[in-house]
Structure 1
Amino acid sequence: MNVKRIMTNIETSDPEKAALFYGDILGLDLLMDHGWLQTYGSAETMRVQVSFASEGGSGTPVPDLSIEVDDVEAALARFKAAEIPVEYGPVSEPWGVRRFYVRDPFGKLINILQHE
């Protein structure tokens, strides 16, 4: 048996709130829409990974999701333009990533990062 995919499910009474954050800002495509469930994603090939942490690194809280992007500064500009507050960073961390934290519309702490 091989794990093919891992999906995150975030509970909300209003799945439409994901459109701006995950669709417009992060550029993910709406792959599936059942009304009660919306799935965003991309055609990008990704590794299957699950992380377990006692902290988020550099003394920060553990983020609910980590999203790796190819241009963290462009992502930061999009979040700022959408007036979404940055809760941490941007900062270049000693383990080789540049990152910042924001909260999605559901209150989840999101780590936006780029490997340097």
Structure 2
Amino acid sequence: MKFWSGVVTEKVRESKDFYVRLFGCEVLFEGEGDWFVLLQLGEGEIGFMKPNMPSQPSIFRPAFQGQGLWVAVDVDDVDAAYARIQSLGVPIEMPPRDEPWGDRHFVVVDPNGIGVDVVQHRQGAA
């Protein structure tokens, strides 16, 4: 078993472009007409689907409203990831910082308003 998540959004193509460009996600499936895309990064997967798809149960039809969700991307070198993403001209929501539990991270926002926490887990955390 494994978890994977999906976001119902009008911004399927923009979401795909964001995650592929910033993190090198692989496109596992892309529906014709941009109705759905499934991305993979390492062992994790995330999907983006257009709202109000008649083929979907009603629970999966309303669009995400832009609050109460985050995505985390684990990296080996957060400062290198920060420099690369910043060089792409992507706005940074929170610059790199160290946390008391040992993580170092920064935050960007995807096209849906989802905070993307780019995290380096460091050994020897307090």
TM-score range, shorter chain: 0.7 to 0.9
Separation in 2 of the partners of 1:81 and 1:87? 15
**Which residue type is aligned with residue 28 of structure 1?**
C
Q: Which runs of 4+ in 1 moved over 6 A?
A: none
Separation in 1 of the partners of 2:27 and 2:82? 22
Which residue of structure 2 aligns with residue 30 of structure 1?
27
How big is each residue's C-alpha offset from its partner over 1:25-66, in whole Å with a ceiling of 9 and x where there is no partner?
101101111131101113x346xxxxxxxxxxxxxxx76111
How big is each residue's C-alpha offset from its partner over 1:59-97, in whole Å with a ceiling of 9 and x where there is no partner?
xxx761111112212221232122222111300111111
Alignment size in residue pairs: 97
Q: Decide which of 83, 86, 95 is 1:89's aligned counterpart.
A: 95
**Which residue type is aligned with residue 88 of structure 2?**
A
Are residues 1:5 and 2:2 paired? yes
Scaled by the length of structure 1, the TM-score of the pair is: 0.73
Q: 1:63 to 1:75 in 2, by over 3 A?
A: farther
**Which residue type is aligned with residue 77 of structure 1?**
A
Secondary structure of the corresponding residue to residue 100 of structure 2: coil
Secondary structure of the corresponding residue to residue 19 of structure 1: helix
**RMSD over aligned Cα atoms:** 1.8
Q: More strand per residue: 1 or 2?
A: 2
Separation in 1 of the partners of 2:119 and 2:109? 14
Instruction: Mark the runs of 5 or more structure 1 residues left unpaired by the alignment.
Output: 47-61
Name which one, 1 or 2, has greater alpha-carbon Rg. Answer: 2
